[in-house]
Each structure stands twice: as C-alpha cells, then as structure tokens.
Amino acid sequence: MSKLVPPHGGKGLVCRLLEGAALEAEKKKAAGLKQIEISSRAKGDLIMMGIGGFSPLNGFMKKADWKNVCEKMLLSDGTFWPVPVTLDISAADAKAVKAGEEVALVRNGEVMATMKLEEIYEMTETDKKWECEKVFKGEGPDSQKFWEVAPNDHPGVKMVLAQQEYNIAGPVKVLSQGEFPTKFPGVYMTPAQLRTKMDERKWQKVAALQLRNPMHRSHEYLAKIAAEVCDGVVIHSLVGSLKPGDIPAEVRVRCIDTLVDKYFVKDHIIQAGYPLDMRYAGPREALLHATFRQNYGVNNLIVGRDHAGVGDFYGMFEAQEIFRKMPTPAEDSKRLLCEPMNIDWTFYCVKCDGMASMRTCPHGKDDRVILSGTKLRKMLSEGAEVPDHFGRDEVLVILREYYSSLTEKVEIKMQSAAAGKGM
C-alpha cells in the first residue's frame, strides 16, 4: 500500500494517453481530421495531461475555467489550480471548425493528440493583457513598470501576447509522449513510474528540487538539507523548452548525473525529468510546480530564492509567500496538498568555511560567494573565471565544454540580486 501523497483533485491519476489497440485506432481516425498546429508549450501541456501530471485536467480549459484560474486560482468546480492551461488557434482555424467536432493537434508533423471541441472563444488583446497581469505581474522592481518592460523582457508575457486570436477547449486523447522517453531514458518518468520507484524504496515524505539551470553548489546544498529531513529527494528537472541563453536539458542532465554519482547517497536521491516548457511565472509557477509534483507523489517542494523568476519581476521570496495567500478549498481532495519547504538564501561563506544561509551565517556579503544559475551562465558564456566554491569542478568541465561549442552567444541579463546586490 503506497504511503505517498494522493494525486491532486481527488480522481486519482487522470491519464489521457492511449495505448495498444485504442492508440492505433485513434491514430487512424486522426489522419482524417482537420489538423491544428500547436506550440511547444501546448505540446508539453498535452504530454502532462497524457501521463497524469496535470491531474485532474482532462483537456484544455474553457473560458470559465480560464477566467476563474487567472482571477481566483480555482477551477470552476472549486479545485485549486494556479495557472491557465489553454490552447490558442488562428481566426482562420476558428472559422473552419465548430463545437462538437474533433480535430488533430499536431506539432512539427507529429500528431500529438485528438481533441473534442467543446468551446471556441475569442481572446482579445485586452483578455491577453488581463491574463498577463493576473499571472505574471509580481512585486519586484520590473513589475512597478510592468507594461514598459514586460512585453520585451518577460518571456511568459511575450508568449501570451503572441498567442493567436482564439482558444479552443475540450477533452483530449493523447497519442504521443514526443521525443522525451527516447531522448532522456531513465530520467524522463511519468507520475506512475516515479511513484512506483518511490514505493519500492518505501518513501513517504518526499521533497522535490525544481531545476531549470545547471546544478550548482547552492542547489546541491538545498537537496542535502531536504535529504536530512525526508525519506528521499527527487531532483526534478525541466526537460522541455527554455528561453534563449538557458542551457539545454541534455547538458543539465549530464551535470546532475555527475553530482548524484559523486556527492549523494543514492538510496535517498532520484533524478527525474518532466516535459513542460517554462512559463517564467514566478510565484504562480511555484504553485504549479507544487501542484503537478503532488501528482508525481511528492509532498514537499523546495522553494528558495526567486523560484521560477525572470529579471527583477518578482520579490526574492514572493514564491514562498504565495503559498500563504493561495485559496484553500473546503474539500481536502480539491486543495493543494504538496507543501513548500522554504529555505533562505544560500551561499558559500569563506569565514564559515562551508555552505550556509542567511539564517545560519552571521558574516557580511564580502565573505560570501553568491550562487545563482543566471550568474553562472553569464560567467561561462563570457569566458570569465568562475569563483571557488561556486560549482563542482566536474560540473564546470561539462559546462565549459558546452559553451566552447557555441557559435552564437546570447546576452544574459542579470537579476540585481543574483549580481550580488541587496545581501
């Protein structure tokens, strides 16, 4: 009997991925349906619906759910859900289909799913801006001048503003997990696969470390703090698409492999990957990370400094604070049961002669090596020396090899805190 936290929403794992004869039959049917080209973000969302990662969702959101989620972080039935999961189409495609029809959802020539259209609704520029303000606007300096900077500097806002004129909603039947099972064998896991692995180890209290950057010493320290108080830790990295300048998943996976092999007790650590694209929604995305981690069997999400943030749009610990402000539905099954494991800003302190945090280190900023994934990427991309204790030497070898192979450099904008201000 599993002792892991139950999936979100009270319906078990809602998996829309077809297999066997049902899959083959749906593929044949899909060949005769109108094809709708989808974005990379929608592909990741579809796969998560397929494997149960987005339980209890069974398809893309109707307008009522979209509005409720943006405004109240609740689905229409009162279930907690922090970010909209929608599918946009062009005005021409919207005119060519009608409610009640089925369509095939395609990404770069591969049919990813079929969808029963229950609703087609317009998304005006006003609607898109309203979504951006509700989901992406934070309390950092850049959000004080949100519409001056966000359309150019916030990748999540840019993505929403670039969406097409209509959304379609309805249940999906997912036909593919894309390239992830073959590209990341042993790392990419469905919620059922990860749950099985953790049940075999008899884990009950589990923490997840969310990663989109290469794993540096601060990440390692966070994972080890969690390992001290939990049965195990899942280093759960995003293997979907990122913004330009971020490091590809295959490079990050190699770095994590090296660290797990050399610096962790393997009985208490699992490396896994999930197929989403980053939305860079800061606090709201921290809640999304906790929501789908619950589906993977995780009951604690490590939340440190500027979780899922970008630029200076969010306060340093705004992602921790939002867990205290989120709605709590009356029914347990509709609540978010994955709780934050809040950890203060961590760094290497020369005087402490080790990793420390603002809670444990009494020394000043001149004694601290400030650790940040963005700062590491900037130093490596510019060929600068990486300070001692910033990253493990074995990891830096892999990252330098990657950066030396690049023919084009992308300018990396530093967040003011990551640059060392304000400590």
Q: Annotate the chain with three-state secondary structure.
A: CCCCCCCCCCCCCCCCECCHHHHHHHHHHHCCCEEEECCHHHHHHHHHHHHCCCCCCCEECCHHHHHHHHHHCECCCCCECCCCCCEEECHHHHHHCCCCCEEEEEECCEEEEEEECCEEEECCHHHHHHHHHHHHCCCCHHHHHHHHHHHHHCHHHHHHHCCCCEEEEEEEEECCCCCHHHHCCCCECCHHHHHHHHHHCCCCCEEEEEECCCCCHHHHHHHHHHHHHCCEEEEEEECCCCCCCCCCHHHHHHHHHHHHHHHCCHHHEEEEEECCCCCCCCHHHHHHHHHHHHHCCCCEEEECCCCCCCCCCCCCCHHHHHHHHCCCCCCHHHCCCCEEEECCCEEEECCCCEEEECCCCCCCHHHEEECCHHHHHHHHHCCCCCCCCCCCHHHHHHHHHHHHCCCCCCCCCCCCCCCCCCC
Task: Please give the pLDDT value at position 403.
Answer: 86
Task: Please give the pLDDT value at position 305.
Answer: 87
Kindly tell me if the per-residue pLDDT of 421 is higher than 60.
no
Kindly tell me if the per-residue pLDDT of 420 is higher than 80.
no
CATH superfamily of the domain spanning 181-274+344-423: HUPs (3.40.50.620)
Catalytic center residues: 212-213
* Mean pLDDT, residues 210-239 taken together: 93
Whole-prediction pTM = 0.93
Q: What percent of the chain has pLDDT over 90?
A: 82
Interval 13-59: pLDDT, tens: 999 999 999 999 999 999 999 999 999 999 999 999 999 999 999 99
Task: Please give the pLDDT value at position 413.
Answer: 55
Interval 385-399: pLDDT, tens: 887 888 899 999 998
Task: Please give the pLDDT value at position 201.
Answer: 97
How does the average pLDDT of the chain come out, rounded?
93
Interval 280-335: pLDDT, tens: 999 999 999 999 999 999 999 999 988 988 989 999 999 999 999 999 999 999 99
Task: Please give the pLDDT value at position 145.
Answer: 96
Task: Please give the pLDDT value at position 213.
Answer: 81
Interval 173-209: pLDDT, tens: 999 999 999 999 999 999 999 999 999 999 999 999 9
More confident of the two residues 140 and 376: 140
CATH 3.10.400.10 placement within the chain: 20-174
CATH 3.40.50.620 placement within the chain: 181-274+344-423
Interval 59-83: pLDDT, tens: 999 999 999 999 999 999 999 999 9
At 371, the pLDDT band (50, 70, 90 cuts) reads: low
**Pick among 3.60.15.10, 3.10.400.10, 3.30.420.40, 3.40.50.720: CATH of 20-174:** 3.10.400.10
* Mean pLDDT, residues 212-239 taken together: 93
